[in-house]
Structure 1
Amino acid sequence: MAKRDDNHSTGDRADLRTQAEFVELGYACNPISKDYGEDFFVVMHDKVSKIIEPFRIFVQSKGTTIPEDVPSDWTEYIDPLTVRQWILGSDLVVVVRRNIETREARYTIPEIDYSYWDIYSHCTGGKDVPIRCRIPFEASTPHELVWHARVRHYMRLFALTLKDESEWKDVPGYKLYLLELFLRMGLLSEDESYHFLKGR
């Protein structure tokens, strides 16, 4: 007879609550049917133009039911090749651990905690990597993660184009990406953008 154990129920409840916190702030969440390390991804859009932005946040959701009086260090042990994928991937990955009993949640961004070389011995030795979810996941966290992903995306574009001499309408490629980020952040208006591009 097929059975559904408590771990599956706890994991599903934690996953749905984390998704709901993104959805509550207007972001779209897409569950991943074939799980290779992430449970869902978040699609972002510009708040003014409503245009979908070209980056994603992938979320690995973990659930626990540890009672409040039992100490926890909020650590998950993850397969090293999965962590390697998170660190080297082009999209941001976040690990969220949620206590169903206490309603507390914490998260971490693996690529900040580890470089590929930090986990090399884990990959060659087959040892799981300790991922400590140390940052409180609060009501504002989805917005903060979206901004982190947005800046990360543009920084990667800058790195790809900074030494590139190619131009579009006589403007270096990196300035176009920088302009788009400044407009998103509200640091420049559409009128000011012309002077930014030409003042080089």
Structure 2
Amino acid sequence: MLAKLCRALGNIRSIELDNAFYVEDGTWIESLTVASNDPFTPERVLEEISGVSLFYSSEVPTESDDLEIRRLTILANESYPFILSLVLRQEAIPNRIVLQNGVFEVVVTARDWDQFRSLADEIQDTLGEFELLSVTQNEEPGEPLDSGRLTEVLVSKLTDEQLAVLETAYDNGYFDIPRETSATDLAAELDIAQSTVSERLRTAERTLLELIYGPRN
């Protein structure tokens, strides 16, 4: 379904599968987060995809004029959400499934190395291509598929001004190594003082760290 939606939308940044629930007779309720470079009307896009109907749509606030983020809840008639089925058949925990730049990026928690190898082999046999980016050993499994709805939580915790600075900094490569832009350039683009850019960046970064580690004592 992610691939079909990607083709129907055209100019997208990413589509993330947040969750999926089986109803009956091959019908699934699927929650998706779609980030698009162009505005789009979910009803019109989904009309082009057979066996899919829109249940609910909400827009995630963003200060960028070049980005639209929507959370979609759809009813989809399919045998099984494809990538998800490969993960669940191996009894692994799907932590993140996102389609970006025509490539599926999947983060899973496996019980042990043998279980992971079995999953990797099935993906290789089914899709014909598999690239392992990293492996980390943890005592506790990651949360399954958007349990905390991170995007909405972050947006609700940051001010519009902080979001604007973060998005502009990210889009212009401020966080890249080496940096592709400077705080002075960001200030000029946002038409604010450089000191204000630095203050908003630090405040936003502190808020994000508090979400991860909790408030400082």
User: TM-score under structure 1 normalisation?
Assistant: 0.30
User: TM-score under structure 2 normalisation?
Assistant: 0.29
